[in-house]
Amino acid sequence: MATGYLDNFYARLGVSKNASPQQIRDAYHSAARRLHPDTNQSDEATELFLQVQEAYEVLSNPDQRKAYDKTLPDDIDPPADVMINAVYSRSVLPRIDDSQLVYVLLDLMSAQQADEKNNGAVQAPLNVALVLDTSTSMEGPRLETVKATAIKLVEQLQSNDVLSIVSFSDRAEVVIPATRGLDAKKVAARISTLNAGGGTEMFQGLQAGFNEVSHGVSPSFINRIILLTDGRTYGDEQKCLMLATRAGSKGIKISGVGIGSEWNDEFLDNVASQTGGQSIFAQDIDDLSEIIETQISGAQQTFANRVTLDFQTPDNVELRYAFRLAPDAGPLSYASPMELGSIPLQSNLSIIMEMEIKSIGEDKDLLTLAEGQLSLEVPTRNIPSTSARISLARSVEDAPELKPPPQILIKAMSRLSLYRMQEGARKDVEDGNVDKAVRKLHNLATQLLGAGENGLAQTVLLEADYLEENGKLRKDSEKQIKYGTRALLLETGSEEKST
Amino acid sequence: MSVICPNCEHENLDGALFCGQCGAKLVSGGVSTAAVKRTHDIDSTKPVSAPLPPPPPATEAFISLHVVRTGQILPLVGRNEFTIGRVSEGQSILPDIDLTPYEAYSQGVSRLHTTIKRKDNGEIVITDLGSSNGTRVNNEKIPAHTELILNHGDVISIGQFKLQALIRQD
């Protein structure tokens, strides 16, 4: 947990900036109960306890609170129930004419996290459409494994959950319409009739899945489309992306699982990022069942859904890169509104943003990097949608003494930079700069060796050799490298949580 | 006010934390991510017509170093000469192989301790750079600034830090 960096007193208590004294008192008592050294002896809890106490001492005193509010430059005002924490790579921005980069790590978590750990978490029901590619290439073990996985999924569901299953090739077929409390045997009987044949027209499948989920779509459900495919779709990409945007705006998250090496990972990433979802690589068909299980259990552990950042940046600031580090790793679409994904019940939603500041005006002592609305839905609370103003800003000084960036940011960026080198190498190949790509892969391998990732480093080195000889990357290796470096990101995330 | 990567000389925007070209860390503090660093990598930002350093003869490592304590293997790729040492603050010349992650300081590793080089005739030689605690090969202290031929399987002690040379047999 990113608990060491709660630099906002309101965020420490998980209350809004305009919370009443009573709300502050209640929040303090609740936090103190679960964090008091008598009941919770972890070092982290003790540190948090001290932080919460410090925050309460200030906020419970009207004069001190007023003085403290003045020090907050319209900072973050978290919606009730959610704690938001921002860590910046620079605490102060130097006033320079040239461009500079600032990184912001945003952590969102349930304010009741610890409570729910004790009381048993309340789970919202799922509303899931499974969209299965049954094109010719799926024939044989792939389709059989997909069928078995779908049947296993039914067993994992709770009685309140809604499931639908759609198959598609050139056209889509609703195999199981959206139904609550499905019987595994009946599903098995229906699924066993599926045969492989035809092309991969993804839009057909996604649309049918979208329709099924839409029947039951409601803020009190966790709405998901899980797409399983082994191929590329041609000609309907734009339609797929538009559908994904609609799904995102309705709170339906799309995740795409790619089987084998022929599927288009960049396209699935684009589709998924419109909705806060992710693409996943099933390198080996035997991994599929575990991937789907993780997807479903992840969905079941959702605290808040449809976390959306509707933001604007001033003319001299550009959002150059945005990536979700936890609970799952995946690129975010930079355009506003940005779908961030979901906040899990017992851990963080963590995103990192890279912003370029073109030049800072002479007259400014405070630079707003981005501001807007952060909105989310908490399915179990039956709150339609809560939102809060969010403003990311830093003060500007002429020649400040720059402190090293927080450790947590360096750690996250060290892994993200590996992922981005892989992205860069692929882009270089696309642009015809094979030599440049080869060098980047060599550098990536060197860094991976330094990080102790010898297996992945070896894959990268072999691919660099292949690229040098053949002028292109292999589809399976490029995916292995991409999802291999992406998996490293997740490891840092979970390490953080366990320490 | 851009940041020039000390490792590959790639120009990064001010405020960048890691080099966009080679992935080296550009800020102090935090965990070290790179065990192997290069100081003279080919700069990809320069146009191809500019005079380039000689291209690396092979992409495969001519020698790998086996970290005896951890079992990790560090292949030396891309050049013919590597400096081994540790990075400390305010240092202008950085070693290619930074042993900081292996508690180099407490093991008595100097900032620039030893070089390993492949000569034109294919011989691989090691040279102690006048380090405080010296370099040993198979437990024999080697004189400073003098080349000594390395053989496959030799154990190199840099201070107390032990590396085994794994030399590719062509």
| pLDDT for A1 | 31
Cβ–Cβ < 8 Å for A240, A158: no
pLDDT tens, residue by residue, A276-324: 999 999 999 999 999 999 999 999 989 888 899 999 999 999 999 999 9
Q: Which residue, A206, A40, A401, A464, is CA-closest to B56?
A: A464
- Asked: is A3-117+302-397 a CATH 3.40.50.300 domain? The reply is no
- Tens-place pLDDT, residues A334-376: 888 999 999 998 889 999 999 999 988 787 888 999 998 888 8
What is the predicted pLDDT for the residue at B151? 82
Residue A366 distance to chain B (closest CA, Å): 17
Tokens 């479903």 found at: A296
Q: Is B34 on the interface with A (CB under 8 A)?
A: yes
pLDDT for residue A496 is more than 60? no
Residues with pLDDT less than 50, chain B: 29-59
Q: How far apart are the first and last CA of chain A?
A: 8
Q: What is the pTM of this model?
A: 0.69
What DSSP string describes A30-73?
HHHHHH-TTT---HHHHHHHHHHHHHHHHHTSHHHHHHHHHHS-
Q: What pLDDT is stored for residue B67 in this prediction?
A: 78
Max Cα-Cα span within chain A: 73
Q: Please state which of the ranges A74-88, A145-159, A275-289, A394-408 shows the lowest mean pLDDT.
A: A74-88
| Residue of B9, B17, B39, B168 to mutate when probing chain A, most A C-beta within 10 A | B17
A chain contacts of residue B32, beta-carbon cutoff 8 Å: 450
Measured CA to CA, the distance from residue A493 to residue A444 in angstroms comes to 20
Other CB atoms within 10 Å distance of the CB of residue A229: 26
Q: Which of B13, B22, B101 sits opposite A443 (nearest CB)?
A: B22
Architecture of the A126-300 domain = 3-Layer(aba) Sandwich (3.40)
Of the candidates A137, A171, A149, A418, the one whose C-alpha atom is nearest the C-alpha of residue A263 is A137
Average pLDDT over chain A, rounded to whole?
87
B155: Cα within 13 Å, side-chain hemisphere:
11
Please name the residues in contact with B51: beta carbons below 8 A apart, sequence gap of 6 or more: none
Q: Could you tell me if A443 lies within 8 Å of chain B, comparing CB atoms?
A: yes
Q: Is A446 within 8 Å of B17 when comparing Cβ atoms?
A: no
Distance CA A155, CA A148 (A): 11
pLDDT band at A6 (very low <50, low <70, confident <90, very high): very low
Quick check: helix, strand or coil at residue B36?
Answer: strand
Determine contact: B30 vs chain A, CB below 8 A. Answer: yes
Residue B112's pLDDT is 86
pLDDT value for A41: 64
**Where do the CATH 3.40.50.410 domains begin and end in chain A?**
126-300
What percent of chain A has pLDDT above 90?
57
φ, ψ dihedrals at B4, nearest 5°: -90, 125
**Tokens linked to A148:** 């078995």
Structure tokens at A409: 């940011």
Place A43 in a pLDDT band, splitting at 50, 70 and 90: low
Contact A151/A187 with Cβ under 8 angstroms? yes
- Find chain A residues with C-beta within 8 A of B37's C-beta: 446
| Domain boundaries for CATH 1.20.120 within chain A | 407-498
**Each residue of A52-71: pLDDT tens digit?**
888 898 998 988 888 888 77
Q: Does B29 touch chain A (CB under 8 A)?
A: yes
- State whether B17 and A405 contact (CB < 8 Å): yes
The two tokens of residue A74 are: 């319209």
pLDDT level of residue A148 (50, 70, 90 thresholds): very high
Q: Where in chain A do CATH 2.60.40.1510 domains reside?
A: 3-117+302-397
Say if residue A74's pLDDT is above 80: no
> Which residues in chain B touch residue A421, judged by CB atoms under 8 angstroms apart?
20, 23
Average pLDDT over residues A472-490: 94
Distance, CA of A304 to CA of A29 (rounded, Å)? 24
Using alpha carbons, select from A234, A231, A236 the residue that is nearest to residue A256. A231
Q: How far apart are CA A426 and CA A430, in angstroms?
A: 6
Q: Is A102 in CB contact (< 8 Å) with chain B?
A: yes
3-state secondary structure A291-351: HHHHHHHHHHCEEEEEEEEEEECCCCEEEEEEEEEECCCEECCCCCCEEEEEEECCCCEEE
Tell if the CB–CB gap between A410 and B27 is shorter than 8 Å. Answer: yes
Helices then strands, counting H and E runs in chain A, come out as 15, 16
Cα B34 to Cα A410: distance, rounded to the nearest angstrom: 13
**Class (C level, CATH) for A407-498:** mainly alpha
Q: Compute the distance between CA of residue B16 and CA of residue A356 in angstroms, rounded to an integer.
A: 10
Q: For residue A170, is it left (φ>0), alpha (ψ between -120 and 50) or beta?
A: alpha
Amino acid identity at A182:
L
Q: How far is A52 from chain B (nearest CA, A)?
A: 26
